[in-house]
Structure 1
Amino acid sequence: MLTLSLVVTSCSLSKNVREERKIINGNWILENVGYESNGGSFKSMLFNDANGFCFEGSTWYFLENNSTGSYTIPTTNSVCSGGARNIRWSVLENENGNNKLQFKYIDEKKKDIYGRTGYRLDIVSLSASQMTLKSDVNVDGSPVSVVYKFSKQ
């Protein structure tokens, strides 16, 4: 009985992660993609999918009960390949700082498309109406942070 309780306890989500998942659940609009660095302008390819500016105005859907969702890039111009992309998502607890939202691409049958490849973004702030995520990358050897600002629909 003790072994069973240890297994159940070790596999359960922390209260903090459960709360963040509940808040994230639903529809969001990615209002702005910004960059924090030492200066300069950037042309970025985000999530091996599209240019950063293509993601502005994209709609994101997170379904908490089965950890799936999608995002849809609008077809505002010929540079952006619009349409929906299916994802599996979760919140990764980080004891040393902000938790992370992680996701990977899945197909219509909810199977991983690229194997174990996925993306992790720091949860900088999260409320019932706003979410800010950040990912750190290197550009020509210099650190740059990509900042994603969402509003809940």
Structure 2
Amino acid sequence: MVKQTFLFVALSSFMMMSCSVSKNAKAQRNLLSGTWSLNNVSYENNTGNFKSVIFNDAEDICFEGSDWFFRDNNSTGRYTISSSTLCQGGDRFFRWSVVEPSQNYSSQLQFKFIDEKRKDISGGFGYRLTIAAINEQAMTLKSNVTVDGELVTIVYEFTKK
């Protein structure tokens, strides 16, 4: 009985340690929680005019002015795009987390699309954006893509509502 209890306590401790979130990731999750407005989508590391479809969803211009909501108690969220002649408006739901990659890299926001009932609709496929800066009022996320063999960084600038 003592052996079984010790084994249970040891396994429980291991599971809690392996599932725990670092203090930095927790702080970023808390900062992310709430409603944000995506004010600007821009491009770095290359010259020229760019037009892109972001998150395999809509053109970059459709995301400017979109509202993003992050709920930290169940890791769900949504973004809302306004309808226009270029943009199919509506809510897109996602499950999100903050990931801390190996040393010398910034934390990342990762998300995948879900439906209104929180079921995965992306087949496990998702997105990761580097958290370049975040505080109580503003957030900057970045993602690297390749265009004609050249690196381009998409920059997403948010303000908290």
The TM-score bracket by the shorter chain reads: over 0.9
How far, CA to CA, are the matches of 2:154 and 2:89 in structure 1? 21
Q: Which among 137, 145, 148 is matched to residue 145 of structure 2?
A: 137
How far, CA to CA, are the matches of 1:131 and 1:45 in structure 2? 21
Shift of 1:108: 1.1
How far, CA to CA, are the matches of 1:123 and 1:13 in structure 2? 16
Q: Which among 77, 85, 99 is matched to residue 92 of structure 1?
A: 99
AA of the residue aligned to 2:132: V
Q: Is 1:115 matched with 2:123?
A: yes
AA of the residue aligned to 1:129: Q
The residue number in structure 1 matching 2:6 is none
Shift of 1:4: 2.0
How far, CA to CA, are the matches of 2:67 and 2:61 in structure 1? 14
Q: Which runs of 5+ in 2 are unaligned?
A: 1-8
Identity %: 52
* Paired residue secondary structure (1:38): coil
Q: Which among 24, 39, 42 is matched to residue 34 of structure 1?
A: 42
* Paired residue secondary structure (1:42): coil
The residue number in structure 1 matching 2:78 is 70
Q: Is 1:17 matched with 2:25?
A: yes
The residue number in structure 1 matching 2:4 is none
AA of the residue aligned to 1:23: L
Count of residues in Structure 1 that have an aligned counterpart in Structure 2 = 152
Q: Is 1:82 matched with 2:86?
A: no
The residue number in structure 2 matching 1:126 is 134
The residue number in structure 2 matching 1:152 is 160
* Paired residue secondary structure (2:159): strand
How far, CA to CA, are the matches of 1:13 and 1:58 in structure 2? 29
Q: Which runs of 5+ in 1 are unaligned?
A: none
Structure ranking higher in helix proportion: 2
AA of the residue aligned to 2:149: G
How far, CA to CA, are the matches of 2:117 and 2:20 in structure 1? 26
* Paired residue secondary structure (2:65): coil
How far, CA to CA, are the matches of 1:81 and 1:121 in structure 2? 23
How far, CA to CA, are the matches of 2:154 and 2:52 in structure 1? 9
Q: Compare CA radii of gyration and give the structure with the larger one.
A: 2
**TM-score, normalised relative to structure 1:** 0.96
* Paired residue secondary structure (2:154): strand
Shift of 1:100: 0.3
